[in-house]
């Protein structure tokens, strides 16, 4: 404790302590002088003798200060102040360095946050290494992570001896109605042991226990803290309350804390599965188990495979080559991302490395301008070690400033990454900036600062004292070797930039072409509003083939009422939407024309209301649209797409032909009359050709959840509140979500290519910036080195333009060599990208030309600044240099 007090006193009352030390030593000397006086010396002589005896005061004072250990802190403070002053004096340089570092360090922080969060941060489940994900793998589906059915689970549970506990779960989104607004939440249907496998304890109430998944158990749910807060205000009496989940009453039995991303990010509700085995399928669930004590994964895997074989034998014809793969939970969640993540991490680290080399180059160039300052300080007695220490402090300061700015970049990057989450990765709670990432950031910043600062610092401190003090002069020996190395590095930077720019260019061109694709909609897309509508009285979502007259009536009334609203031209429902929202596909057969064994036509099967085509502006080619007289009782009818007509009725009129939908195991579905042919519409994504489609009226064939489509003569987004109100007037508990215009849907459809393009464009820009900085640094340094030579040339009559040309040629050479090397790399990269390219080939000349021109211009511009400075060299000043 006293130690601490000492330390604090020394930090904050340094001058007082210094003063005291002075006084103490003085006292010692005068005491000795007194003693000497008694031996006969005069007072003055005694003083002198005492002082000589004592020895070099300053040295002991310095040693004393070292013992008091505050000089370290004092020096650091002084260094930091000095460093900040130097940065203010050269703001351009500091800005470039800080910006470069911000990009490099920020990218690393963000990437580290993602890698650490996904691969290493402990999941919120204690002992996660003992938790395993279990799936089915059988032919012909051949999905290595296939789902289980209730029957499979029952068989597994019966035969299991290696897992302590087993459970199954199914991801779902539940509609909550009842106490409050209708909303959809992420959730899962789980069996009784699910919570104990994951060791999730309740905050209040309880979680599921054995018995909660019995066939006769009532519907029970566990909710998350966030849901509890939002919908019940954290009321204690929420336990036991009944809410409506998907239209059915469910009792809340417990609340668990927020923070879980499994099996869906930000999951808020768990419902009990009732295990009632009536048939082998459906295959909805995924398995989870906690390994028993001492059981290895291999043993568990062997047993599950055995169970799988037994199931196969007991159910001939259903499964073949059945295994039950077991893998650690973390592996299942993110295992296949490992190589991609590490590749990206390696890439951003390489970028940071290039950035530090760049800045080292810049510092070396600047070092020669500070040579005199260093020489003066050295001659005044500053230790070389102190000097190096101070220069390193400046470098680390730069790096830390870059890290602070980069932190913002990392934050934005992680936000963007979380928003773009196509695979339901556990991103909400696992990936975020925290102390671990901060620690990593500080470590790499300091390391980077030392890395790029050490060589320039050592070089500056090694400077000989005579030459700089004699009116300027150059420092730095071994210039030729260093220069070649720096030039090589810059050439590599240029090559890498070219590769990235060409890749970005290819993706950009491809993306722009993709956006212009015609999906078959001939109305301005902003004028069409779509939404997903689920009426309250919906059917059992696990068994969607049934349909209910209540649902049908709801949709009918909704469409009618909406069609009458002012501002609405047409309103319709459909269960599929362009460009990529296909709900169902099917095969069909034509009456009187059986297929050969090879033919297996696959078509889209939208179920629509009569005004659907009018709402989307799909043209009628032959025949008629559906009308309100096509009801459940009238003759089954069908409308086919133009491509279906072309392919299967090339020489005859399709109107009046009969088509039959398919059905597994014998066909009893009715034959439908073809009454119309319409233009092609894409339901399978913008990059693919439109598949053949046939449409049926929803009155004859309904899905429990459909899209509602509304067309207006003006941008339709403004109609959203009116439409919602109207729908709730028909059914107050209907859930309306994803109100998006067709424009939004088109944009969403290309979200992944857009992300890829943006990422690569960003990286290309980053590399370009670094290359520019690199070129600038090398050229600037070489100009400084050749100052004398340039001065001589100009004194001998060379024009400024000649000098300019000389320097620019050097820069152009670097760029040209870099481009040449980069060309090979870009061709290879383009080929690797070819599967992401739409409508253009990997040799697209426009992208290459664009990259070339951009890089050449930027490179030459970077060389221009030092070249201009070279032309302004005054030959008289230059010649005075030694």
Q: For residues 136 and 322, what is the distance between their CA atoms, to the nearest angstrom?
A: 7
- Burial of 317 by CB count in 10 Å (0-12 exposed, 13-18 middle, 19+ buried)? exposed
Give the length of the chain. 882
Residue 119 CB, shortest distance to other proteins, in Å, is 46
27 or 73: CB nearest other proteins: 27
Helix then strand then coil, in percent of the chain rounded to 5, is: 55, 15, 30
Residue 38 CB, shortest distance to other proteins, in Å, is 13
17 or 817: CB nearest other proteins: 17
31 or 688: CB nearest other proteins: 31
Residue 55 CB, shortest distance to other proteins, in Å, is 5
Measured in degrees and rounded to the nearest 5, phi and psi for residue 625 equal -80, 175
58 or 597: CB nearest other proteins: 58
Residue 70 CB, shortest distance to other proteins, in Å, is 11
Give the residue from 260, 331, 256 showing the smallest Cα distance to 301.
Answer: 331
45 or 599: CB nearest other proteins: 45
16 or 209: CB nearest other proteins: 16
Residue 77 CB, shortest distance to other proteins, in Å, is 21
Is there a cis peptide before residue 521, judged by omega within 30 degrees of 0? Answer: no
Please name the residue that has the structure tokens 């490395």: 353
Give the residue from 96, 864, 817 showing the smallest Cα distance to 488.
Answer: 817
Q: Which CA distances in Å does 577 have to 131, 693, 726, 753?
A: 40, 12, 22, 20
55 or 592: CB nearest other proteins: 55
Residue 13 CB, shortest distance to other proteins, in Å, is 14
31 or 302: CB nearest other proteins: 31
Looking at the DSSP bridge assignments, the partners of residue 678 are 620, 641
SS3 for 648-688 is: HCCCCCCCCCEEEECCCCCCCCCEEEEEEEECCCCCCCCCC
59 or 279: CB nearest other proteins: 59
Residue 26 CB, shortest distance to other proteins, in Å, is 10
Could you tell me where the DSSP H helices lie in 90-216?
Answer: 91-115, 150-159, 194-197
Is-contact 410 113, C-beta < 8 A?
Answer: yes
Give the residue from 470, 498, 603, 418 showing the smallest Cα distance to 853.
Answer: 498
Is there a cis peptide before residue 263, judged by omega within 30 degrees of 0? Answer: yes
Could you tell me where the DSSP H helices lie in 667-799?
Answer: 720-730, 742-749, 751-785, 787-795
6 or 881: CB nearest other proteins: 6
Residue 51 CB, shortest distance to other proteins, in Å, is 11
Is-contact 445 349, C-beta < 8 A?
Answer: no
Give DSSP secondary structure letters for 139-160: ETT--TTBPB-HHHHHHHHHH-
Q: Is 345 left (phi over 0), alpha (psi -120 to 50) or beta?
A: alpha
Residue 66 CB, shortest distance to other proteins, in Å, is 7
62 or 464: CB nearest other proteins: 62
Give the residue from 265, 292, 259 showing the smallest Cα distance to 187.
Answer: 265
Q: Which CA distances in Å does 576 have to 72, 209, 466, 604, 696?
A: 71, 40, 83, 9, 12
Side-chain-side CA neighbours of 288 within 13 Å: the count stands at 26
Using CB under 8 A, list all residues that contact other proteins: 2-3, 6, 20-21, 23-25, 27-28, 31-32, 53-57, 59-60, 63-64, 66-69
Residues 6+ away with beta carbon under 8 Å from 216: 274
Residue 385 CB, shortest distance to other proteins, in Å, is 20
38 or 279: CB nearest other proteins: 38
21 or 405: CB nearest other proteins: 21
Residue 8 CB, shortest distance to other proteins, in Å, is 13
3-class DSSP assignment, residue 210: coil
Q: For residues 98 and 91, what is the distance between their CA atoms, to the nearest angstrom?
A: 10
Residue 6 CB, shortest distance to other proteins, in Å, is 6
Looking at the DSSP bridge assignments, the partners of residue 183 are 176
The whole-angstrom distance between residue 298's C-alpha and the CA centroid of its chain comes to 34
Is-contact 554 651, C-beta < 8 A?
Answer: no
55 or 211: CB nearest other proteins: 55
Residue 44 CB, shortest distance to other proteins, in Å, is 19
Q: Where are the strands (E) in 552-611, listed by range? A: 568-574, 585-586, 588-590, 603-604, 607-608
Burial 689-717 (b: 16+ CB within 10 A, else e): ebbbbbbbbbbbbbbbbbbbbbbbeeebe
70 or 112: CB nearest other proteins: 70
10 or 372: CB nearest other proteins: 10
Q: For residues 89 and 374, what is the distance between their CA atoms, to the nearest angstrom?
A: 16
């Amino acid at each position: 404790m006293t130690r601490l007090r000492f330390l604090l006193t020394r930090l904050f009352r340094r001058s007082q302590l210094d003063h005291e030390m002075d006084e103490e030593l003085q006292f010692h000397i005068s005491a000795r002088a007194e003693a000497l006086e008694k031996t006969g010396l005069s007072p003055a002589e005694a003083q002198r003798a005492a002082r000589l005896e004592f020895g070099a005061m300053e040295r002991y004072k310095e040693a004393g200060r070292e013992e008091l250990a505050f000089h370290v802190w004092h020096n650091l403070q002084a260094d930091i102040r000095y460093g900040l002053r130097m940065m203010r004096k050269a703001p351009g340089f500091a800005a470039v360095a800080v910006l470069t570092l911000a990009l490099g360090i920020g990218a690393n922080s963000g990437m580290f946050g993602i890698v650490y969060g996904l691969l290493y941060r402990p999941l919120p489940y204690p002992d996660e290494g003992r938790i395993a994900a279990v799936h089915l793998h059988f032919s012909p589906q051949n999905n290595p992570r296939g789902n289980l059915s209730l029957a499979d689970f029952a068989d597994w549970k019966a035969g299991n001896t290696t897992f302590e506990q087993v459970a199954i779960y199914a991801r779902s989104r539940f509609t909550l109605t009842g106490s409050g607004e209708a909303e959809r939440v992420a959730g899962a249907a789980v069996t009784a042991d699910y919570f104990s496998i994951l060791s999730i304890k309740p905050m209040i109430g309880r979680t599921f226990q054995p018995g909660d998944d019995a066939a006769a158990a009532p519907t029970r749910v566990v909710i998350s803290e966030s849901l509890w807060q939002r919908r019940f205000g954290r009321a204690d009496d929420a336990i036991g309350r009944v809410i409506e989940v998907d239209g059915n009453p469910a009792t809340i039995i417990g609340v668990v804390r927020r923070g879980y991303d499994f099996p869906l990010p930000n999951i808020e509700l768990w419902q009990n599965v009732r295990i009632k085995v009536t048939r082998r399928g459906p295959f909805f669930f995924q398995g989870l188990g906690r390994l028993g004590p001492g059981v290895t994964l291999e043993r568990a895997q062997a047993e599950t495979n055995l169970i799988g074989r037994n199931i196969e034998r007991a159910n001939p014809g259903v499964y073949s080559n059945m295994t039950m793969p077991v893998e650690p939970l973390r592996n299942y969640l993110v295992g296949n991302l490992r190589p991609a993540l590490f590749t990206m991490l390696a890439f951003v680290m390489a970028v940071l490395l290039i950035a530090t080399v760049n800045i080292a180059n810049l510092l070396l160039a600047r070092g020669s301008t500070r040579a005199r300052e260093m020489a003066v300080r050295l001659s005044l007695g500053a230790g070389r070690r102190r000097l190096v220490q101070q220069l390193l402090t400046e470098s680390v300061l730069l790096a830390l400033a870059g890290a602070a700015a980069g932190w913002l970049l990392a934050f934005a990057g992680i936000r963007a990454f979380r928003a773009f989450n196509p695979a339901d990765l556990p991103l909400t709670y696992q990936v975020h900036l925290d102390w671990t990432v901060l620690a990593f950031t500080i470590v790499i910043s300091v390391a980077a600062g030392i890395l790029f600062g050490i060589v320039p610092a050592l070089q500056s401190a090694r400077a000989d004292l005579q030459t700089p003090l004699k009116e300027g002069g150059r420092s730095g020996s071994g210039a030729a070797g260093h220069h070649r190395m720096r030039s090589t590095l810059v050439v590599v930077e240029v090559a890498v930039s070219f590769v990235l720019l060409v890749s970005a260019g290819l993706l950009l061109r491809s993306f722009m072409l993709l956006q212009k694709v015609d999906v078959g909609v001939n109305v301005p897309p902003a004028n069409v509003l779509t939404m997903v509508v689920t009426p309250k009285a919906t059917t059992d979502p696990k068994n969607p083939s049934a349909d209910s007259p209540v649902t049908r009536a709801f949709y009918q009334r909704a469409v009618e009422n909406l069609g009458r609203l002012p501002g609405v031209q047409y309103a319709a429902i459909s269960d599929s939407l362009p460009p990529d929202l296909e709900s169902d596909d099917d095969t069909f057969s034509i009456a009187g024309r059986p297929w050969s064994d090879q033919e297996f036509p696959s078509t889209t099967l939208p179920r629509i209301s009569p005004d659907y085509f009018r709402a989307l502006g799909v043209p009628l080619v032959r025949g008629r649209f559906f009308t309100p007289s096509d009801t459940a009782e009238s003759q089954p009818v069908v409308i086919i797409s133009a491509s279906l007509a072309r392919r299967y009725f090339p020489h005859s009129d399709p109107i009046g032909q009969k088509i039959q939908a398919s059905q597994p195991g014998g066909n009893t579905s009715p034959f439908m009359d073809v009454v119309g042919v319409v233009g092609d519409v894409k339901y399978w994504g913008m990059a693919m050709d439109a598949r053949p489609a046939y449409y049926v009226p929803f009155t004859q064939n309904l899905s429990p959840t459909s899209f509602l489509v509304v067309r207006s003569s003006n941008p339709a987004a403004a109609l959203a509140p009116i439409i919602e109100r109207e729908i709730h007037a028909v059914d107050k508990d209907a859930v309306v979500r994803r109100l998006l215009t067709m424009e939004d849907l088109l944009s969403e459809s290309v979200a992944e290519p857009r992300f890829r393009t943006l990422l690569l464009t960003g990286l290309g820009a980053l590399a370009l910036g670094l290359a520019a900085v690199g070129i600038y640094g090398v050229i600037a340094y070489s100009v400084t080195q050749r100052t004398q030579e340039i001065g001589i040339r100009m004194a001998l009559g060379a024009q400024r333009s000649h000098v300019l040309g000389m320097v620019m040629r050097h820069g152009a050479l670097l760029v040209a060599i870099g481009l040449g090397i980069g060309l090979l790399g870009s061709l290879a990269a383009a080929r690797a990208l070819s599967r992401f390219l739409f409508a253009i080939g990997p040799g697209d000349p426009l992208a290459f030309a664009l990259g070339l021109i951009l890089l050449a211009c930027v490179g030459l511009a970077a060389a221009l600044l030092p070249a201009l400075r070279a032309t302004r060299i005054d030959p008289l000043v230059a010649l005075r240099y030694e």
